[in-house]
Amino acid sequence: MTDVRKETDSLGEVSVPADKLWGAQTQRSLEHFSIGKDLMPREMITAYATLKKACANANHAGKRLDDTAHKLILETCDEILAGQHHDMFPLHVWMTGSGTQFNMNVNEVISNRCCQLAGTPLGSKKPVHPNDHVNMSQSSNDSFPSTMYIAAAVNTKERLLPSLKALHDAIDAKAKEWASIVKIGRTHMQDATPITLGQEWSGYAGMLADNIERIEDALKGVYRLALGGTAVGTGINAAPGFAEEAAAEIAKLTGLPFVTAPNKFTVQGAHDALVQLSGAFRTLAVSLYKIGNDIRLMSCGPRAGFAELHIPENEPGSSIMPGKVNPTQAEALTMIAVQVMANDVAVGFGGASGYLEMNVYKPLMIYNVAHSITLMTDGCANFRRFLVEGTQPNLKKIKEYVDRSLMLVTALAPVIGYDKASKIAHYAIDHDLTLKEAALKLEYVSEAEFDKVVDPSKMVHPYVATE
């Protein structure tokens, strides 16, 4: 058997593996909530270390935490922030809805690491007690939601938004590069009037720019922290001014504009800001789904599809069909989008499930929000690197479609009327003629007039032909 030591909590004695830094409450959670393989998001570990460091600073400044405990807590938090001890946070997502056991996991690990640094026995809770010192001025009910918000905001700002902006910039660069390539537009999956390839891709860039704006706007609510509300929002056992001081410390440590929430009952009874942020992620997922599918359509072929785009050949596409190449990056991105939309459903249900003074679906909510951030961060980066940057237009195929398009007849409508223009299009279809051949056959316009009016390059801007 693994060597064990005895740790205690309010319910009594618990055997804990001797080489682990966690304590009794963490061990109880491992025994009672060994559900599935989903661990608490790793982002919550560093977010909690940030929060505990900020609280220690605020309590020390208020002369509530002595110099020794303050120094040891800070040293341990810095170790965690540097990536150490992460294997000491083994708890599963599917636990108490308040996240209390994860908060205690953090408190116990910090306390026991402080014991190691001070040369006292693990589990002695001296010189740093997990509740009295590490959890000073806090409750799980305000620290866990605050940590959720820190993790969501930091990872959105430091990971998702840079990846999204890089994808936007890559698409925008293609839009500018292809500004003069006239292609046929499509509506209802049928031929429509001309558009430039650059205009088409500028639409994608615009969608992503709008999503960046939506996400930044949603973060405003996430910057309002519950910390200082303690058990039910009243602030019992938190000194006056602690909430403001701790939020200022978190803002300093993260470089983000965190503040104490003006109404703690709002942010502890519900987590609507996280629901709104997840909703912004859902909107981004919808946009990515459309972009991925559009590019998949435009690149389909190479000989029996649209084939307007040459996409990078990253890997063989079939185990049986030699030479086949598939739009795998588009497939991955659209699958990610579907998962993010599903995650948002879970976050919405979780957010709606706050009873009285506390929401009890916290681990579910942050698990799905963190999952969405990671998926879209990596998905946007891969889609940019392995598809967008290497995609090139198939100029021959694009020109062929424009030349054969019947919807160019739209430009003739102001000159000869809608009915005659329609007859030209139908005559061309029925007799397998080009648009020009049909127009001349019906004698609705002269060749010179047709050539002057039906000019695809004119039709990609506001344009009304005259006789």
The number of beta carbons lying within 10 Å of the beta carbon of residue 227 is 33
**Residue 17, preceding peptide bond in cis (omega within 30° of 0):** no
- Please indicate if the annotation marks 137 as binding a ligand: no
The answer to whether the beta carbons of residues 72 and 118 sit under 8 Å apart is yes
Among 160, 158, 145, 375, smallest CA distance to 275 is for 145
Q: Is 458 annotated as a binding residue?
A: no
Determine whether the annotation assigns residue 132 to a binding site.
yes
Residue type, 7: E
Backbone dihedral angles phi then psi of residue 316, each to the nearest 5 degrees: -60, 145
319 among annotated binding-site residues = yes
32 in a known ligand binding site: no
* Contact between residue 162 and residue 381 where contact means Cβ atoms under 8 Å apart: no
| Residue 107, annotated as binding a ligand | no
d(C-alpha 167, C-alpha 190), whole Å: 29
- What is the C-alpha separation between 106 and 386, in angstroms, rounded? 39
Residue 347 annotated as part of some ligand binding site: no
Whether 10 is a known active-site residue: answer no
For 77-137, the DSSP string reads HHHHHTTTTGGG---BSSS-TT-HHHHHHHHHHHHHHHHHHHT--TTS--S--IIIIITTT
Q: Which of 40, 43, 51 is nearest to 227 (CA)?
A: 51
- Residue 5's region, left for phi above 0, alpha for psi from -120 to 50, else beta, is beta
* 188 in catalytic set: yes
Ligand-binding site membership of 163 (annotated): no
Out of 318, 422, 446, 457, the active site residue is 318
Task: For 15-38, give the DSSP string.
Answer: EEETT-S--HHHHHHHHH---SS-
Q: Does 415 show up as a binding residue in the annotation?
A: no
322 is in an annotated binding site: no
Place of tokens 């800001």: 273
Going by C-alpha positions, the residue among 430, 414, 424, 429 that lies closest to residue 466 is 414
Alpha carbon distances (Å) from 207 to 174, 183, 187, 227, 276? 15, 21, 18, 35, 18
Q: Which amino acid is at 420?
A: K
The one-character DSSP state at 410 is G
Q: Is residue 211 marked as binding? A: no
**131 marked ligand binding residue:** yes
- 139 appears as a binding residue in the annotation: yes
Residues in the chain: 467
Residue set of the binding site for substrate: 98-100, 129-132, 139-141, 187, 319, 324-326
Residue set of the binding site: 98-100, 129-132, 139-141, 187, 319, 324-326
Write out the catalytic residue numbers: 188, 318
